[in-house]
Structure 1
């Protein structure tokens, strides 16, 4: 077997870390080794899926059998630094391929060799040229290229460097595996993946208006299909993802208990659909059990082969743990952590790159920690070290083989598989406990980018804030803070019972869910500035590739609006139109998952599925959600509307068509107007009552529309304010906006102002807190603090804590600080080797600054810094 046991001393970077500091050595390897694309999962899944004997089997059973085949044959990797066992590929740092979903298949088909990449570029260029000729858009296209070049914007990365050759976030693959992937596996799935079927279904449903479908098929911006465009302002995600499993059920009952429950339900099932689902659930649990058994056996072999007595003892203990859990209930802290990790790794293999999150681990692990400490089985430092390794391992499974064109906008790891700590318990009392503090200390020790989502409320002890502030002061910018006093009522507003709302956990970047009771959620996107652009152009949409006619509704062009209220009404009408379109597209996606890609393993760990005999993709969970991220961005939208209100309708400084013309010219030749806009007081983010009320009114109008739609699984559509990296990617493709933002530059991230803050941090937080968060189940508020703002002593930190408490008292939902000064960030661009551990917040997740592409690094540096 390949890569059964690895010796870190053979790593080319091992010498850079203190040989006595295991965590530092692990972190350095995660930061510097090149990820390996693994074909093993794809290979074994494909073999079972297309096996003749499986073709006639019911779909859930066929999926479960495919994964059972994977668990039976997957090579199991054990690292010499592992104290928690289990990797999702046969390599220390690898990424498996969800080949049946297909969102990365085109990336791999095009970008693994120079020849395939050149062929893809040539095909794309031919299609693009034909589109421009067909639409007679050459003049506009060349004009847009000229004005962006004149502004100093570099071209997009269209190089012929393969995934292994590119400078930012490269991936490697074994040459023999590459041949199998390109010649056997990817061709076998061509036209058969979930992404393929979704593209076909969206087109057949008539969701593309005007010239949009012609544009989408002719001008592919990327080989990745994580999201599909319905419009320039509306997208649908391919995956469902975003889920927190019921890990407590495994800790308390073990897989044996789950199997007994499934068997009882199967014996009482009264229809074929229930029997098929429950049979698949049995097979799914059998697969996880087999995975754990094989892992225990491999650890026993490694222990016998280990030359070092100390390592032999460690491996034997790991083998004992894996033989015990997750098959049986956990009894100790170490057993609980290993049980959690085995289950998560098995689920990640079954559904890779799907954002399976752990939920409230401080609540789950506290009883085990408390018992072990009283019994003298565990020291505090041992527990911290174990949780630090856990955070590094979570980070290493949140990695995606992105396309070349996204290289300058992406990063190696996303911290978007968070651990949630703190907050209220189900009975309403404060849930802060010893393990809450362990996780904060573990984040400081590990320096992993895994988000630590810290729930707070008025009864949260100051000591928790002090512990988090100390971590921020030393550069641990992986902390995010969530306000229970706002989030719990928002959960109630969307149908969650009070005890379940109090038990919320964060999944993905900032999205709230009830752990173990809520089905997979997929966030779709509504691009706010594009929505305004469509409104100003009578339903046409302008991006830098040209104008797409008929993308939206003909609500009247820039010269037709008699007053500002008429413009707002047209904007909200466009918003209702596109939210409905997103709901239809999202439901098509969810129906396809139910019909083509059930998830029996995830279903076993979600309350309601086994009880109802219904897969999670068919609405078996107790709760469900569908998401719409309203992005790119609140700040640019509100500021643009404010400029229109002030300069066009109140001061009559110019007409709205004249402002649109200046936008189309990227303000070149309109420098006086650009200066006037830049000097306009009251932009959003300064606590100005007029713009805060405008933001509240416009966003409340959009939020209200989501209540008029239900998902395929009869769930509500909920709002998130989170941009991920789209504020840079979409900004790169977008013309200027009326607020003075230039073409091909980033939008404001998530719920952030657009670097127009003149009233300090208090003005920023007053504006952000004014949004109607009762309708929102997640928002990201990035604030860049100079280290001096946090300080090194308790008195300074007390002032910072008072600021955060006051912001939450105003109704703020979330805040996620990046603590780093601009000079440090610029030096990290020049000397990345000196700043490998520098963590920043991007859209809603943490990542290492030096892993970011240059364009998104520049966006982080450009954010307003608060001292």
Structure 2
């Protein structure tokens, strides 16, 4: 294959992306346009089928009830094969249509039926017929959904923290878990038949007089049912392909459809033999996981490692070439983007842009520590470049041995302005995993699972991050108000003293230490309630079957079936917290330019009046800001984060001691777009931020506050206890496209990245390569920018689908210079 070297690309600024990466084949251009034209639409078909299954099998044990439901949906849902596709499989009745999952939640669906097409962002079309269907099935689900059971399981004293948004967990009680990668390597190399035979062996060896074995028998019987349902699902597509082949007069298309049918008669039930078979197998399994449960961040793992042996074998046999492989990969990528998810508006604020976080991970090291870059790694990069969609999410695993040649290839894709690929650092993540008990060969095989969170494919349970959200700045305001929420007046935490009566910064930090530990405990209580509701009522049978070692243990993932099970919540507003503490320490207690009462009054009045503005200007101009490599402020967030990190270690998850290695919790900062939603719930903060406006996202500095360039940002972030924040350290940076026009500047960025990862031990970084002028024009003329992509947080989205508030948040981010 053609791999360009640094020496061959001195005039990179003179090349167009099409000249370098190639363009979509005519058929893939047509498919892309059809998907781009597809309007997100609410689809009731799955909801109706799920309701039928639940009514028919209410008496079944829960594992079997779930299996019957999947079987009924796969046997009866509408299927189609697009005219230009080479890969078959659809989630709903149309591309980008979003099915409803009534078993998880129906209350908000009914409440928002007439609002889906009127939203300020993430708009979904919905027909009157669909509304009628959903209203007809709604009574069956009253008090009978995950959301209902989740709310009922919250201890009353914990519910207030959820209701007030102090601990956000919407996604945990309105949908499945997701945040997982199943064992695709074994799926394509051994086929579902191998899993089926394992299950049969286990089932036949049980002693049903033993109650534990009887419990296992339900899971095994359910596993057999879903495996056979997936096999039949593939057969349905095979027959449809044969039917279309019989009906077409196009000889070339006839042969393609017959080949497709032959593949679908074989995979994913049997092992794949070719590159195309492997892709079709992965896609159909991935798709079924999205039909089984609507948990997002269901990711694809290390595709370059799984697929390259098939590609290189086909290449040697002459049955494929690079161009055909890239075409198949572009087809695969577009199919991934057809999957969609409808969320409540409140949840949407945390996940703006309709993201599914379906992550593909490439490069990094192999399990034996060698360079994992291979021909398929390059092909995947080229396919992503050609498709230019916000999904699938793409992550590059960085390690010190990656060549400049490959790094330049990565930067070339970053230059395209898709916010991809993100980069995760082997030099931090692998040691962090090993420290927590992950076997070395598994740690070296990790993959991104959603945004920046990481796990071992096929061996890790749900929710390696995203268990719940804690709003650090709002918690600080509660601490300053003696444990009482200043927004609602409700006493939430113990009173460790009011800020207006404090005489030292140390008093505040001691109050913060005790209070954030309290908040952490409440978050754990809420997370455990969500987990128990899911475990007891909504096991994902296919997902568990394909995750080691659920079959060996006879347990679903939520019961402790996975080899590893470690989770994290997400802490929001890191930069605001740092800058707020710097304000209080410097202006109130050191320089005494403000009294505690003056600052508190300014906060409560949202900086109103001349005095309020004078105080705010003083804060913005005289106080050092996080993101500029200033120890004074950077050290404060490290100090504030420490009690949370210490406290969360004390609380194992609900699978602890039930089989998995770990069973622990740790920190994470992948706040997705929660910085906007949680900002709505937060009054003015001591960093000068106005009430109800967005918080800073991830660990990125507050907009406009990082004035010393990207290197200073890297240095500030490197002071965080990254090895303890195993749930992900998310950093977004924005640059103008003009900066990366020359190869010289591309190489400067590579050098800077190497310094960040090798020397400063950074965890993650991703780039928005778009200028402010383009974004503002896209707000005014969305029809002219329908495929403009931006990085929102740990994922990308089409800019024009976002609400204006989220768009404004992205526009306001600092534009870095090299």
TM-score, length-normalised on structure 1? 0.86
Question: Which runs of structure 2 are paired with 1:244-255 in the superposition (5 Å)?
Answer: 244-255=181-192
Structure 1 residues 152-198: Cα deviation after superposition (integer angstroms, max 9, x where no partner): xxxxxxxxxx3234464332334333212112x12211110011011
In the alignment, is residue 83 of structure 1 matched against residue 86 of structure 2? Answer: yes
Counterpart in the other structure of 1:110: 111
Checking the alignment, whether the CA contact within 8 Å between 1:77 and 1:92 is kept in structure 2 is no
Distance 1:412 1:532 in 2: 29
State the Cα distance separating 1:618 from its structure 2 match. Answer: 0.6
For the residue of structure 2 that corresponds to 1:474, the secondary structure is coil
Q: Is the 8 A contact 1:410 1:853 kept in 2?
A: no
Structure 2 equivalent of residue 266 of structure 1: 203
Query: How far off its partner does 1:801 sit?
Result: 0.2
Q: Residue 132 of structure 1 aligns with which residue?
A: none
1:506-532 CA-to-partner distances (Å, cap 9, x unmatched) read 112111111100111152111100110
Q: Is the 8 A contact 2:167 2:468 kept in 1?
A: no
Offset, 1:740: 0.3
1:667 aligned residue (591, 607, 611): 607
1:516/1:230 CA distance change after superposition, 3 Å: farther
Deviation digits for residues 119-158 of structure 1, max 9, x if unmatched? Answer: xxxxxxxxxxxxxxxxxxxxxxxxxxxxxxxxxxxxxxxx
Does the residue aligned with 1:541 lie in a helix, a strand or coil?
Answer: coil
Give CA deviations for 1:455-482 in whole Å, capped at 9, x if unaligned.
0111111122100111122323221001
Q: CA deviation at 1:380?
A: 0.7
Matched, 1:830 2:780: yes
**Which of 243, 246, 259 is equivalent to 2:180?**
243
- 1:363 is aligned to 305
The answer to whether the aligner puts 1:552 opposite 2:493 as a matched pair is: yes
* Residue 180 (str. 1) matches residue 133 (str. 2): yes
**Counterpart mapping for 1:753-832 below 5 A:** 753-755=701-703, 756-777=705-726, 778-793=728-743, 795-808=744-757, 809-832=759-782
Between 22-31 and 267-276, the greater mean CA deviation after superposition: 22-31
Query: Which region of structure 1 is more displaced relative to structure 2, 798-807 or 167-176?
Result: 167-176
User: 1:433-452 counterparts in 2 under 5 A?
Assistant: 433-450=374-391, 451-452=393-394
The match for 1:538 among 482, 487, 511 is 482
Say if 2:502 is the partner of 1:561: yes
Task: Choose from 29, 32, 42 the match for 2:34.
Answer: 29
Matched residues, number = 773
- Conservation of the 8 A alpha-carbon contact between 1:789 and 1:866: no
Q: Cα RMSD (Å) of the superposition?
A: 1.9
Q: TM-score, length-normalised on structure 2? A: 0.92
Deviation of 1:698 (Å): 1.8
Q: Is the 8 A contact 1:353 1:400 kept in 2?
A: no
Native 8 Å contact 2:669 2:699 kept in 1? yes
Instruction: Tell me which of 58, 61, 68 is aligned to 2:64.
Output: 61
Aligned to 1:309: 251
Q: Is the 8 A contact 1:504 1:512 kept in 2?
A: yes
Do residues 748 (structure 1) and 701 (structure 2) align? no
1:583 is aligned to 524
Shift of 1:19: 11
- 1:226-241 equivalence runs, <5 A: 228-229=162-163, 232-233=166-167, 235=169, 237-238=172-173, 239-241=176-178
The question of whether the paired residues in 2 share the 8 Å contact of 1:396 and 1:413 is answered with no
Do residues 423 (structure 1) and 364 (structure 2) align? yes
**Mind listing any 5+ residue stretches in structure 2 that lack a counterpart?**
1-22, 208-212, 657-662
Describe the shift of the 1:475–1:665 C-alpha distance in structure 2 as closer, same or farther (beyond 3 A): same
1:388 to 330, 344, 350: 330
Check whether the contact 1:784–1:865 (CA below 8 A) recurs between aligned residues. yes
After TM superposition, give the deviation of residue 404 of structure 1 in Å.
5.1
Q: State the shift of 1:685 in Å.
A: 0.4
1:217 maps to: none
- CA 1:35–1:666: 2 relative to 1, 3 Å: same
The match for 1:647 is 587
Of the structure 1 ranges 728-737 and 612-621, higher mean CA displacement relative to structure 2 is found in 728-737
Is the 2:180–2:460 Cα contact (8 Å) retained in structure 1?
Answer: yes
Distance 1:305 1:822, change over 3 A: same
Map of 2:146 onto structure 1: 194
3-state SS of 1:523 partner = coil
Q: Write the deviation string for residues 265-304 of structure 1: whole angstroms up to 9, x where unpaired.
A: 1011232001111111111111111111111111111111
Q: Does the 8 Å contact 1:415/1:847 carry over to 2?
A: no
1:812-836 CA-to-partner distances (Å, cap 9, x unmatched) read 1100000011111111112223322
Provide the rounded CA distance (Å) in 2 between the counterparts of 1:506 and 1:568.
35
* Counterpart position of 2:797: 847
Q: Give 1:444 deviation, angstroms.
A: 0.5
Structure 1 alignment gaps of length 5 or more? 1-17, 114-161, 214-227
Relative to 1, partners in 2 of residues 1:41 and 1:406: Cα closer, same or farther, differing over 3 Å?
closer
Cα deviation for residue 20 of structure 1 reads 6.7
Work out whether residues 238 and 264 of structure 2, in 8 Å CA contact, stay in contact via their aligned partners in 1: yes
Distance 1:166 1:727 in 2: 19
Give CA deviations for 1:304-362 in whole Å, capped at 9, x if unaligned. 11232222222211111111111111111000000000111111111124331111111
Residues 1:526 and 2:470 aligned together: yes
Cα displacement string for residues 348-377 of structure 1 (whole angstroms, at most 9, x for unaligned residues): 111124331111111100101111111111
Q: Equivalent residue for 1:221?
A: none
| Cα distance in 1 for residues equivalent to 2:349 and 2:452 | 24
Matched with 2:314 is 372
SS of the residue 1:624 aligns to: strand
Match of 2:5 in 1: none
Q: Which is worse superposed, 557-566 or 598-607?
A: 557-566
**Structure 1 residues 694-721: Cα deviation after superposition (integer angstroms, max 9, x where no partner):** 2222223321211111011111112210
Alpha-carbon distance in 2 for matches of 1:785, 1:265 = 55
Deviation at 1:594, TM superposition (A): 1.5
Q: Which residue number in structure 1 is paired with residue 158 of structure 2?
A: 207
Matched residue of 2:707: which SS?
coil
